Structure 1
Amino acid sequence: MIIRHTGPNELEQICQIYACARDRMRKGGNPSQWGNNRPSVPVLVRDIQNGCSYVITEKDKLCGVFSLIIGTDPAYQVIQQGSWLNEAPYGTIHRLAGNGSVKGIFSACLSYCLSQIPNIRIDTHRDNLIMQHLLTKNGFTRCGIVHVEDGSERIAYQKSLPGYDDSVSLHSI
């Protein structure tokens, strides 16, 4: 699999990937996390323009998409029923989706993200049992509860590679 920045001409293709993911979420018992229209097109366009949207390709075909945002996430400023593993600089994975054509989208995304910054945070909906399983299987620690922009609750996770702590700055990564 190859991971690269999403091009502005790929918006329609990534919207199709998200439509597939929303359908699989509904069928898997998670109808409300993304509803019928999330992530929204303006959010996707912003991610592309900000250079934080990435596509995953297999044999030159788009099969996955995600955003990696390095820096403080406003939704993560307050965590309830727990705490973050550390307060070191981190990246956040958002809007991860695959079209179901290949396996290993999450692993490819995680490997790429950890190569960019060795401290990753992510959140997921209580009903997204598949993502909760993948996070636990891949060494993430459940840290508590956060509330996203629309006020809804999410389970927050973090993974930090050994040796990475508060003494590390983004400039040294």
Structure 2
Amino acid sequence: MFNVFVRKALADDLPKIIEVINDAKKLIKGTGSPQWQDGQPSRSVLEEDLKVGRGYVLVVNEIVVGYTALMQTSDPHYEIIQDGAWNNTTDKYATLHRVSIADGYRGKHLSDFMISNLFTIGYELGFRNFRIDTHAMNKGMQHISIKAGFKYRGIIYVGPKEDDRRLAYELNM
């Protein structure tokens, strides 16, 4: 039997979440992208996700195989967008960060399932607008974002360096 679902992450999930994030860091590194190669997301960031209740795990047959943070507050990195514009600047939005799937579980469309479930959770929380971003070299996340219905909106920066440049996407329901 194949049992798959998304649930809020628990403190006991932290070791497995770190494994999933480390798997994603290795995958991203293999593409040549500098994204997530500076120690972020760190253990303390993940602990904060769990503490404030924004961490969600994807569970397959009782094993945590995916992780995403569903941010329910405005992201300061999204205040300035270059070479484009947000479609909806008046309504609140939720942001998906740290989208990751463990080694051995990629290629099974589980990220589609996880993101779809996060839309359902966000919708139930009153969000009709979602945002996501990724590095230009992270072609996998770009594909996943577009497949989930996100539209490219422009460039944002998550820090002061050129490597902190991100492609920004938005989905309006």
TM-score w.r.t. the length of structure 1 is 0.87
Q: Distance in 2 between matches of 1:160 and 1:109?
A: 18
- Residue from 128, 131, 155 that aligns with 2:167: 155
Distance 1:11 1:150, change over 3 A: farther
CA contact (8 A) 1:22 1:36 kept: no
Matched, 1:123 2:136: no
**Match for 1:5: what amino acid?**
K
Query: Aligned to 1:23, what secondary structure does the other structure show?
Result: helix
Q: Distance in 2 between matches of 1:100 and 1:49?
A: 26
Per the TM alignment, residue 150 of structure 1 is displaced from its structure 2 partner at its CA by: 5.5
**Match for 1:29: what amino acid?**
G
Identity of aligned residues (%): 31
1:6 corresponds to: 9
1:18 corresponds to: 21
Q: Which stretch has the larger CA shift, 147-156 or 66-75?
A: 147-156
> Counterparts in 2 of 1:13-92, with a 5 A limit?
13-30=16-33, 32-35=34-37, 37-87=39-89, 88-92=91-95
**Match for 1:52: what amino acid?**
R
TM-score w.r.t. the length of structure 2 is 0.87
Instruction: For structure 2, list consecutive stretches of 5 or more residues without a partner in the other structure.
Output: none
RMSD, aligned α-carbons: 1.4
1:136 corresponds to: 146
Instruction: For structure 1, list consecutive stretches of 5 or more residues without a partner in the other structure.
Output: 162-173
Q: Distance in 1 between matches of 2:143 and 2:170?
A: 14
Q: Which stretch has the larger CA shift, 90-99 or 102-111?
A: 102-111
Q: Which stretch has the larger CA shift, 107-116 or 89-98?
A: 107-116
Query: Aligned to 1:11, what secondary structure does the other structure show?
Result: helix
Give the length in aligned residue pairs.
Answer: 160
